[in-house]
Chains A and B, each alone.
Chain A
């Protein structure tokens, strides 16, 4: 029962973070929100008894892809100004 409540709370948080990632004016905030979506998703996988998937999601989804987005954003900013 407690797991179900935590899962629902995390699901709602994922939705909120996804909406922020799409609609926020500042791209940096959007990228971080997309990383937070992955972080919450990895907690959800852990609750659903899939620790292997949770590790992948935490390392690649919220770690590496966020930093790659920042590298690309930095490069685009340099090229435009």
Chain B
């Protein structure tokens, strides 16, 4: 009883603290200075039809590198803590999967992989990008592992894709310092025609690497957890 009333008092305290924000809120009618700069001069400076991508990869590219690094660290820690003995996943009793799940996964998994690749290749034209595409690829892997639990996923391949795309991302950034205006500058290649697939300079290439890297990292986490299920 005392505990519940304490929780109630804390909740009321939060309500009082936040009431001022709620009462004083009226939605923005126009963009602030920074957003206005992005919206007005973004298309000609960066050449990306999707303005979110222009901000994520070019204006705030270093932040994206940091996010990818954090995700890499998380995946590395998961695989460090869940080290699987070789051959341990073989002696595990599994229920056979249902016909519906098996057939559906055979049809859907390639389509989901293809959709993930589409999302990160078209990141500068349509909504989505490297992170979303990578997450979609990892969800396709989840469906595959649910339908065929005994399937072995190559750790070496995942590590290789992850390392190569990470190194390439940083190398493109350094090439921006040497040959263009600065780190991760997208004018390394010509901006091209606005709204076509080969436009926005180096953004599509960076997003392909980000997508591969995020997809490999999330797939690594999922496979590690999956192979670790039978250990006590």
Query: Residues of A at under 8 Å CB distance from B?
Result: 51-52, 54-56, 59-60, 63-64, 67-68, 71-72, 74-75, 78-79
Residues in chain A near residue B229, CB distance under 8 A: 71, 74-75, 78
Given A68-B221, A75-B228, also A55-B127 (CB < 8 A): yes
> How close is B97's CB to chain A, nearest CB, in angstroms?
15
Contact present for B232 and A56 (CB under 8 Å): no
B128 within 8 A of A: yes
Chain A interface: which of B15-23, B102-110, B130-138, B193-201? B130-138
Q: Count contacts between A and B, CB distance < 8 Å.
A: 49
One of B132, B218, B221, B232 near A55 (C-beta < 8 A):
B132
B203 within 8 A of A: no
> How close is B123's CB to chain A, nearest CB, in angstroms?
9
Q: Tally B residues with Cβ within 8 Å of A.
A: 21
B222 within 8 A of A: yes
One of A51, A64, A72, A78 near B232 (C-beta < 8 A):
A78
Q: Return 20 A-B CB contacts under 8 Å, by A number.
A: A51-B127, A51-B128, A52-B52, A52-B127, A55-B127, A55-B128, A55-B135, A56-B132, A56-B135, A59-B132, A63-B135, A63-B139, A63-B142, A64-B222, A67-B222, A68-B221, A68-B222, A71-B225, A72-B225, A75-B228
Residues in chain B near residue A71, CB distance under 8 A: 225-226, 228-229
Contact present for A60 and B135 (CB under 8 Å): yes
* Cα-based distance from A63 to B145 in the complex (angstroms): 14
Residues in chain B near residue A64, CB distance under 8 A: 135, 138-139, 142, 218, 222
Query: Residues of B at under 8 Å CB distance from A?
Result: 50, 52, 119, 127-129, 131-132, 135-136, 138-139, 142, 218, 221-222, 225-226, 228-229, 232
Residues in chain A near residue B52, CB distance under 8 A: 52
Residues in chain B near residue A59, CB distance under 8 A: 132, 135-136, 138-139
Contact present for B139 and A52 (CB under 8 Å): no
* Cα-based distance from A52 to B119 in the complex (angstroms): 10
Residues in chain B near residue A67, CB distance under 8 A: 142, 222
8 extra interface residue pairs, beta carbon distance < 8 Å, beyond A52-B52, A54-B127, A59-B135: A55-B119, A55-B135, A56-B135, A59-B132, A63-B139, A64-B138, A68-B222, A78-B232
Chain B residue nearest in CB terms to A54: B127
Residues in chain A near residue B119, CB distance under 8 A: 55
* Cα-based distance from A72 to B209 in the complex (angstroms): 30
Residues in chain B near residue A55, CB distance under 8 A: 119, 127-128, 132, 135-136
